[in-house]
Structure 1
């Protein structure tokens, strides 16, 4: 395993790869993990950080697509429910069951009993893997969640789906790490400037965006997993595909915790679309919007903020209405929706998040369109099958290329952490053992040994966050951190639950930066404080 950027870039320039993947979002990450587990010589580059676009702006849900029942996409719901169950089974620490409490307002387009029957059907599609749905009267809703406004409600119900305990980008990064452990060569902040097919191989002119230095990568097969940029990249490589993307913008706002329960509150917003109030650690996330946009460069607008705040204030019974001043952080991303046509003439609202993979066998080029986190394992499996059909040798038959270590390994770790858990920093939301295992899996043993050797490594490294010094040491060497945003926005959800001014002035920021960047620490802190990323107001 190598997470040394400089060494990896040298390797990318030196090796002739079987496959090069462009894009380190969820599609690229699972493709790399699946292929590396089968012995394929694979590389992955991203022009920014891993999971830097759509894959860091989701609702942090792994859900089976209940809304697709309305559009009668039963095969898709069946597939997504199966995929959700698979994630819950193999990532029990990271992907956990969560109850959705849905309130149906008076005048809704369907009778409440009919919608409830849909939840029962959804449970059956989910193979009874989760808790059964439960019908709720207005009184029962109020008893469960006093913060729900029930004056305009008919009734409601509870049903189950799955939730990411950390954040989406952390989940994606762990697939990147899995790929690297299986010998994939990965590098963030490396851009494909030009890619051409020459002499039965792809020749890629690449640029290290941290130094502006250029180099060449050669690969037999090229995979375009650039998310919202798939069409743009295909245009540059002269690839014609049967699919292309339409974009739907989604905005989420973070506010102080609204519900005391770890439950998702689901409503239908004023425009009839789903609207969520989601738990996010000690905070609450509300949204999302769903607006068609022409470009992937979407931003949060005042209209977006007001739409979310107005719906939250209407649907929730709060002590005082939420205002812009209550927004701790915000994020905005586009959902790339796959469409099979030359022009975007489809009903984009009705488009699902199902993925599509187009293949140019002659050029040995693969394009991945659409998709969602829930379906990621299927994407990894399908890509491996396609690469094999293109003639790339699979040296191993490692079919189970994903999942946490065995319960036996976890049990051994938890027993070894009993004394260390006593050092958990005051105010932490969970014991160190739980946090370490979920985020680092078997690598958590390294953190355990570091703390046993030096108990001060269990101390809080950065105010307002939960990072210990043992973690910062690990991250510095093994998670390819180029900027503070990589650590605080994508390897963790710190900037999504902590106000900008609090992080800018957090005790330990300079010390953490020093450990991560050495002599460049002061520069990195200044860049972070001066940044105007959309997820920080």
Structure 2
């Protein structure tokens, strides 16, 4: 396995007495920040990205894990956003068939919610707003005859089925960062930007690693991709060159929470449930033995990093799911939950569900270039990043060509293992068969987990035998994989491994999670982020 370039740091502990110079400093290691860093680096810009915690530790690992156009946004007449997201859906499916896969959604029809004609019109638009080559269109089914109706209440006789995609959101961020680094970007995790002074010709920023001395970075331009902290960064860390006001907009912080319960159905399709409050929730097959249910829309009070699900949110999700499932969902069954804060542009809407999910790129060229990223959703990250990189190029006086639309994410180009590509979903199954042939010692669950997580990069993780993988620290998790995640993917704590680079924490006992924590050098097991 080749090592990372010597000019690039894999960790936040890199120290240097001299100033670091770059073209663009990106603040924020979520999906938008890493996407912009990747795109810029691929265009030849010198890029440094800093993230105060782990990659994707907050909003970008707390999504419903869907690559989707946003069917419900049609009700709010967000046609441009839906079309843009639908166009990106198939681009992403092709770019990362290991971590993104097609998913069919079953929407039981409850006449008390929305009439059938309205749903048909919505699905017709959803099928035709953008060109669709990989995913089947919508259809209607009889739940009394279709196996997908077996887990639902008998009163539900009819459903509509449509297509979208599923994504491992935290791995999407990690692999985007891996690609950014491979193209020359420097990625510093657990490194906070404590201040950034603007001048006429550049920015001078102070970066404070979690462990180590502060360092000074000089950049020609700055990208504020701090997610829920975007407004706060402009008000407290970014200092203007003169008397200009940097924070010109406000964010509305909306908490979305999810619960995980024992599996409610055997098939691999998901459900969309309509609620009496006109909201929707999803019920999605998750990690084999579980069902993921979410999300809520609640105003976040307090610091974004403190977001946690509350009892009322848990009760709401259980109640709404129980309106549809034959087997009710009780709060006592929740085995795990997570919450994220969506940084949405404040449009003065009274209903959090109706606040736009579209993004805004705000440029400020009163002195050294500043680009602030407001809002956004995971499905449109590549397009957002492309637009941001082009905008920065113009601000720096050197427009450079986009390149990401046809590019694979790390591990996503399966051709070297299986030959010519056919379809992303069938290509992946062919890839799994080839991994099984090359590594016969892997059991089926481990095989699929690692093929999904790493794609063709699996060759840098696996050894010819289990014995060559080192100690099995926890079931199916060997020292070789932990070494790889620490060396190649910035994992420095057990949470990084168990809850973001994988979801193994959901399958392990407390004692097994403790073993991973000890291996990572932690004295006590940290709570799941």
Is structure 2 residue 445 aligned with structure 1 residue 429?
yes
Retained in 2: the 8 A contact 1:246–1:294?
Answer: no
Retained in 2: the 8 A contact 1:355–1:369?
Answer: yes
Is the alpha carbon distance of 1:258 and 1:161 closer, same or farther for their aligned partners in structure 2, counting shifts above 3 Å?
same
Retained in 2: the 8 A contact 1:12–1:217?
Answer: no
In the aligned structure 2, how far is the partner of 1:345 from the partner of 1:93?
38
Cα offsets for 1:473-521 (capped at 9, x unmatched): 31132122221111111111223x33xxx442018x53x55654xxxx2
Would you tell me which structure has more helix in proportion to its own residues? 1
Retained in 2: the 8 A contact 1:243–1:358?
Answer: no
In the aligned structure 2, how far is the partner of 1:140 from the partner of 1:242?
56
Is the alpha carbon distance of 1:399 and 1:173 closer, same or farther for their aligned partners in structure 2, counting shifts above 3 Å?
closer
Give 1:26 deviation, angstroms.
Answer: 0.6
In the aligned structure 1, how far is the partner of 2:346 from the partner of 2:270?
30
In the aligned structure 1, how far is the partner of 2:187 from the partner of 2:64?
26
TM-score (ref. length: structure 1): 0.86
Give 1:408 deviation, angstroms.
Answer: 2.5
Retained in 1: the 8 A contact 2:11–2:189?
Answer: no
Aligned to 2:231: 231
Aligned to 2:259: 253
Retained in 1: the 8 A contact 2:193–2:205?
Answer: yes
Give 1:446 deviation, angstroms.
Answer: 2.2
Pick the aligned partner of 2:318 from 289, 306, 309.
309
Q: CA RMSD in A?
A: 2.6
Aligned to 1:156: 159
Aligned to 1:331: 338
Is the alpha carbon distance of 1:395 and 1:161 closer, same or farther for their aligned partners in structure 2, counting shifts above 3 Å?
closer
Cα offsets for 1:155-192 (capped at 9, x unmatched): 3211110111xx21111111011101111111111001
In the aligned structure 2, how far is the partner of 1:460 from the partner of 1:323?
39
Is the alpha carbon distance of 1:460 and 1:81 closer, same or farther for their aligned partners in structure 2, counting shifts above 3 Å?
farther
Retained in 2: the 8 A contact 1:254–1:285?
Answer: yes
Name the SS of the counterpart of 1:352 in structure 2.
Answer: coil
In the aligned structure 2, how far is the partner of 1:460 from the partner of 1:100?
41
Is structure 2 residue 360 aligned with structure 1 residue 352?
no
Is the alpha carbon distance of 1:44 and 1:392 closer, same or farther for their aligned partners in structure 2, counting shifts above 3 Å?
farther
Give 1:221 deviation, angstroms.
Answer: 0.6
Is structure 2 residue 447 aligned with structure 1 residue 446?
no
Name the SS of the counterpart of 1:367 in structure 2.
Answer: strand
Cα offsets for 1:369-393 (capped at 9, x unmatched): 1111100111110111111111165
Is the alpha carbon distance of 1:423 and 1:361 closer, same or farther for their aligned partners in structure 2, counting shifts above 3 Å?
same
Cα offsets for 1:389-426 (capped at 9, x unmatched): 1116578874558424544213278787454432113x
Cα offsets for 1:86-136 (capped at 9, x unmatched): 11122222211111000122312x312321232122111242331121112
Aligned to 1:172: 173
Is the alpha carbon distance of 1:7 and 1:149 closer, same or farther for their aligned partners in structure 2, counting shifts above 3 Å?
closer
Moved more, 236-245 or 252-261: 236-245
In the aligned structure 2, how far is the partner of 1:394 from the partner of 1:335?
31
Give 1:79 deviation, angstroms.
Answer: 0.9
Aligned to 1:134: 139
Is the alpha carbon distance of 1:231 and 1:305 closer, same or farther for their aligned partners in structure 2, counting shifts above 3 Å?
same
Give 1:333 deviation, angstroms.
Answer: 1.1
Aligned to 1:192: 193
Pick the aligned partner of 1:470 from 438, 457, 480.
480
Name the SS of the counterpart of 1:174 in structure 2.
Answer: helix
In the aligned structure 2, how far is the partner of 1:20 from the partner of 1:486?
24
Name the SS of the counterpart of 1:429 in structure 2.
Answer: helix
In the aligned structure 2, how far is the partner of 1:360 from the partner of 1:11?
31
TM-score (ref. length: structure 2): 0.87
Aligned to 1:95: 100
Aligned to 1:121: 125
Is structure 2 residue 329 aligned with structure 1 residue 322?
yes
Cα offsets for 1:1-21 (capped at 9, x unmatched): 357445873369643110000
Retained in 1: the 8 A contact 2:10–2:488?
Answer: no
Moved more, 69-78 or 40-49: 69-78
In the aligned structure 2, how far is the partner of 1:366 from the partner of 1:88?
28
Is the alpha carbon distance of 1:438 and 1:8 closer, same or farther for their aligned partners in structure 2, counting shifts above 3 Å?
farther
Is the alpha carbon distance of 1:289 and 1:513 closer, same or farther for their aligned partners in structure 2, counting shifts above 3 Å?
closer
Aligned pairs, how many? Answer: 500
Name the SS of the counterpart of 2:439 in structure 1.
Answer: helix
Q: How does 1:392-411 map to 2 (within 5 A)?
A: 393=398, 398-400=403-405, 402-404=407-409, 405-411=412-418
In the aligned structure 1, how far is the partner of 2:83 from the partner of 2:111?
30
